[in-house]
Amino acid sequence: MSTILEMRSITKEFPGVKALAGVDLDVTEREIHAICGENGAGKSTLMKVLSGVYPHGTYDGDIVLEGDTMRFGSINDSEDRGIVIIHQELALVPYLSVAENIFLGNETRNRFGLIDWDSANHRAAELLARVGLHENPTTPVSQLGVGKQQLIEIAKALSKRVKLLILDEPTAALNDTDSAHLLDLLRNLRDEGITCIIISHKLNEIADIADRTTIIRDGRTIETIDMADPDSTQDRIIRGMVGRSLENRYPDRTPDIGEEVLRVEDWHVDHPTQAGRNIITGASFNVRAGEVVGIAGLMGAGRTELAMSIFGRSYGRNIRGRIYKNGQQIQVRDVAEAINHHIAYATEDRKQYGLNLLDDIRHNVSSAGLGKISPGGWINGNEELKVAEEYRASLNIKTPNVLANVGKLSGGNQQKVVLSKWLYTDPDVLIVDEPTRGIDVGAKYEIYTIINKMVAAGKAVVVISSELPELLGICDRVYTLAFGRITGEVPVAEATQERLMELMTIERDQPLPTKELNS
């Protein structure tokens, strides 16, 4: 096996910041090579250098591909040499068909200069078969789920005769089945002779699929390890990424559980546009002061829908059921009422639903609790700045100052801004939806610490997550949700991933195991 790609002491500076300080990377032909590092370690910058987003001359160091020194001036140059990058945010046009997306910018034309759709669709079908996707090439992409869209991106890369495929967090938005399928596909592609570089935060996934792993920290290569080596444990990778060993991935907490704070009874929600389609059916749950309650469920089980319908009817229609706060039944007809009842909901989709990316940290932090600093409807700007500074310090938001745009922060720091915003509303119940999605190990630990501080102060937290180890690591009790029904309630001491998974896959018409519901 020969080296296909070598990057030698790549250094990239932005004004005032050294993003890469001499990174070395060598990738062998026909291997799956993982790159690990915390957010901000320089992984994305490195891949942008490799794919020509930062053209030759704007960085120092050499890129050697198949023995030749490369001087890419643009993405087109790197694609000509068979390097294709698939970004975390997929770049598909929703209203175009699968085939149109695959050949976008690369259309085959007939002799009249028009696109030959018959041959394009035919070739698209072949590519889809290679990635194991059984869809009609004329289907609009918007009708397919994220998992299938990811496969279309790979088909698109294959149509460009890719030799070196780079995937940035390919499974971040996928459920377990889709992830497993994608990883299988990558193995097949490797066997067909395609080299893969995969950037991922999911360490068990890396352990599962990578042949070798390069760890990057603070713009430097720490080490490249062979995953076949028994010493290449997840702990070793984490140690390399954070520069210290994380004894425990979840901070310790001694539960001190008090009175019930929130109880939801017999909650029903219908789909907002499809009449008669039930999304949540008769869900009941509660959470007590000082308690972290988890809600586990597969994609599409209705986790987010349950939370958002409770949070001021932000989702669905024909919502029925009862909400009790501290034993009193309450009405929560809109978000303002929810905030007044000290209920907070931090969304799973920071960019779409959580933040105003055009605005600065300061205004985002105050956006849900503006009333507290605005006597008579006029904002006290100095007080606002002080509040934002306090949260920057206490939540360790890494930014020179709070006047920086949130759109430019890393995922972990954006998540801390979202949490700051909700902590500032002084919630008694905080519902966090996928609080650690797409953020690195170090930042995850910090988020868990924030949750622990909340419950230590006698508040209640509901965590929605698709990562079962996370729920087992931080919760006191876990509810399972499947097809819109609460199918089980398990104290964490009795819970295992297998037990939860069993409850999470109970189908709509199957009877529920009554034992758990009464515990």
Partner 1 sequence: MNVIAGARDLMTRHLRESGIFIAFAMIVVLFSVLNPNFLSPGNLTNIILQYSYILILAIGMLMIIVAGHIDLSVGSVVALTGAVSAVVVIRMGMPWYMGVIAALVVGLLVGMWQGFWVAYVGIPGFIVSLAGMLLFRGMTYLVLDNVSLSPFGGTYYQIANGFSNGLLGGAGFDVFTVLIFAIAVVGYAVSQWRSRQGKIAYRQTVESLPMFALKILLVGAVVMWFGYQLSQSRGLPLVLIILAVLIIVYALVMQKSVFGRHIYAVGGNRHAAELSGVKVRRINFWIFVNMGFLASVAGIVYSSRMNAAQPAAGNMFELDAIAACFIGGASTTGGIGRVGGAMIGGLIMAVMSNGMQLMGVPQSMQQVIKGLVLLLAVAFDIWNKRRAAAAR
Which residue, 285 or 345, is less far from partner 1 as judged by CB?
345
Report 420-479 residues binding partner 1 (CB under 8 A): 421
Site string for partner 1, 298-337 (x = CB under 8 A): -------------xx-x-------------------xxx-
- Residue of the chain from 339, 443, 447, 490 that contacts partner 1 (CB under 8 A): 339
Which residue, 150 or 347, is less far from partner 1 as judged by CB?
347
State in angstroms the smallest separation of the CB of 217 from partner 1. 22
Which residue, 354 or 411, is less far from partner 1 as judged by CB?
354
Site string for partner 1, 368-387 (x = CB under 8 A): x-xx--x--xxx-xxx-xx-
Which residue, 382 or 518, is less far from partner 1 as judged by CB?
382
State in angstroms the smallest separation of the CB of 422 from partner 1. 9
Give, in order, the Cα–Cα distances in Å from 512 to each of 248, 283, 302: 35, 13, 17
Taking alpha carbons only, the member of 271, 293, 250 closest to residue 488 is 293
DSSP string computed for 88-133: SS----TTSBHHHHHTTTS--B-TTSSB-HHHHHHHHHHHHHHTT-
State in angstroms the smallest separation of the CB of 57 from partner 1. 14
State in angstroms the smallest separation of the CB of 312 from partner 1. 8
Residue 420 CA to residue 368 CA, distance in Å, equals 10
State in angstroms the smallest separation of the CB of 244 from partner 1. 29
CA 27 to chain CA centroid, Å, is: 26
Residue 419 CA to residue 434 CA, distance in Å, equals 12
Residue 307 CA to residue 318 CA, distance in Å, equals 15
Site string for partner 1, 70-99 (x = CB under 8 A): ------------------------------
What region does 244 belong to: left with phi over 0, alpha with psi -120 to 50, or beta? beta
Q: Which residue has the tokens 């067909």?
A: 192
Residue 416 CA to residue 171 CA, distance in Å, equals 22
Three-state SS for 52? Answer: coil
Site string for partner 1, 15-54 (x = CB under 8 A): x---------------------------------------
State in angstroms the smallest separation of the CB of 76 from partner 1. 20
Helix pair 441-456, 234-242: axis angle to 10 deg: 90
Which residue, 223 or 359, is less far from partner 1 as judged by CB?
359
State in angstroms the smallest separation of the CB of 425 from partner 1. 8
Which residue, 222 or 355, is less far from partner 1 as judged by CB?
355
Which residue, 408 or 508, is less far from partner 1 as judged by CB?
408
Q: Contact, 126 vs 113, CB < 8 A?
A: no
Question: Which H or E run includes 76?
Answer: helix 75-80
State in angstroms the smallest separation of the CB of 63 from partner 1. 22
DSSP string computed for 402-426: TTSBGGGS-HHHHHHHHHHHHHTT-
Phi, psi of 369 (to 5 degrees): -125, 30
State in angstroms the smallest separation of the CB of 324 from partner 1. 21
Q: Contact, 277 vs 461, CB < 8 A?
A: no
Site for partner 1 contains 345 (CB under 8 A)? yes
- Residue of the chain from 281, 367, 396, 449 that contacts partner 1 (CB under 8 A): 367
Which residue, 25 or 417, is less far from partner 1 as judged by CB?
417
Site string for partner 1, 392-431 (x = CB under 8 A): ----------------x------------x----------
Q: Which residue has the tokens 């009795």?
A: 494
Report 155-194 residues binding partner 1 (CB under 8 A): none
State in angstroms the smallest separation of the CB of 39 from partner 1. 16
How many Cα atoms within 13 Å fall on the side-chain side of residue 371?
Answer: 6
Which residue, 324 or 353, is less far from partner 1 as judged by CB?
353
Buried b (16+ CB within 10 A) or exposed e, 130-166: bbebebebeeebeebeebbbbbbbbbbbbbbebbbbb
State in angstroms the smallest separation of the CB of 83 from partner 1. 24
Please give the size of the binding site for partner 1, defined by CB under 8 A. Answer: 36
Secondary structure letter of residue 140 according to DSSP: B
State in angstroms the smallest separation of the CB of 379 from partner 1. 5
The three-state DSSP-derived secondary structure of 280-315 is EEEEEEEEECCCEEEEEECCCCCHHHHHHHHCCCCC
Residue 129 CA to residue 200 CA, distance in Å, equals 26
Residue 150 CA to residue 479 CA, distance in Å, equals 30
Stretch that binds partner 1, among 29-37, 43-51, 127-135, 364-372 (CB under 8 A): 364-372
Site for partner 1 contains 356 (CB under 8 A)? yes
**Which residues would be at the binding site for partner 1 (CB under 8 A)?**
14-15, 311-312, 314, 334-336, 338-339, 345, 347, 352-359, 363, 367-368, 370-371, 374, 377-379, 381-383, 385-386, 408, 421
